[in-house]
Amino acid sequence: MDTQIPIGQPAPGFTLPDLAGKSHSLVEARGRIAIVNFWSAECGWCERTDAQLLALTQSWEGVATLLPIASNVNESPALLARAAGKRGLPFVLIDAEHQVADLYSAQTTPQLFVIDREGILRYQGAFDDMTFRQRTPTQNYLQMAVEALLAGRQPDPAQTLSHGCSIVRYIP
């Protein structure tokens, strides 16, 4: 779980159900840039970035796909549905046993993984450079990564430290 996927390597494939039971897989995004976002209904960091994330992905319609993944064992389907509906997310993928979070070594929400059109991991980390100390973001890492790929360049930075809420894998 603590071994990160190297930038420039193929992203691990996965198939997960959404709240309605429909399966979605990473391979379906092939040919577009995939934005895998480990997401939480209760995390304030996710709530802060969701509107911006949706606006960006809508501006990249047809060239980028957002795959929000809920991996927290303490968030019920009803809670996820309410939060997703309130924030305008078209769907949320359910990683009930956090297998995909483990596969990607995801630790926080939000934590983003940008995968190019050929299925290669090109960026992983934070949405932007806001931290607990720096309260006003000055760089949007996700936007920089996707725009670099659209321009035929490698994202720089390709990896950042994600800040947010810990993914809850177990409840004692």
Phi, psi (deg, nearest 5) at residue 46: -65, -45
* Domain contains 7: no
Predicted local distance difference test score (pLDDT) of residue 1: 40
Write the single-letter amino acid at 133: R
Residue with the larger pLDDT of the pair 118 and 136 = 118
* Integer angstrom CA distances of residue 95 from 37, 71, 75: 12, 5, 11
* Domain contains 33: yes
Predicted local distance difference test score (pLDDT) of residue 133: 76
3 pLDDT more than 70: no
* Domain contains 85: yes
* Domain contains 23: no
Q: What is the pLDDT of residues 23-39, one digit of tens each?
A: 999 999 999 999 999 99
Are 134 and 15 in contact by the 8 Å Cβ rule? The answer is: no
Q: What is the pLDDT of residues 92-127, one digit of tens each?
A: 999 999 999 999 999 999 999 999 999 999 999 999
* Domain contains 21: no
Burial classification of residue 112, based on how many CB atoms lie within 10 Å of its CB (0-12 exposed, 13-18 middle, 19 or more buried): buried
When divided into structural domains, the chain yields a total of: 1
Alpha-carbon gap, residue 103 to 48, rounded angstroms: 26
* Domain contains 140: yes
154 pLDDT more than 80: yes
What's the farthest any 2 CA atoms get from each other in the chain?
A: 47
- Select from 128, 116, 137 the least CA-distant residue to 160: 128
> Residue 48 maps to which CATH number?
3.40.30.10
* Domain contains 105: yes
138 pLDDT more than 90: no
* Domain contains 9: no
Q: Which residues contact 164 (CB under 8 A, 6 or more apart)?
A: 40, 43, 45, 46, 108, 109, 110, 111, 126
Which residue range forms the structural domain that includes residue 80?
A: 29-166
Are 49 and 89 in contact by the 8 Å Cβ rule? The answer is: no
Predicted local distance difference test score (pLDDT) of residue 134: 66
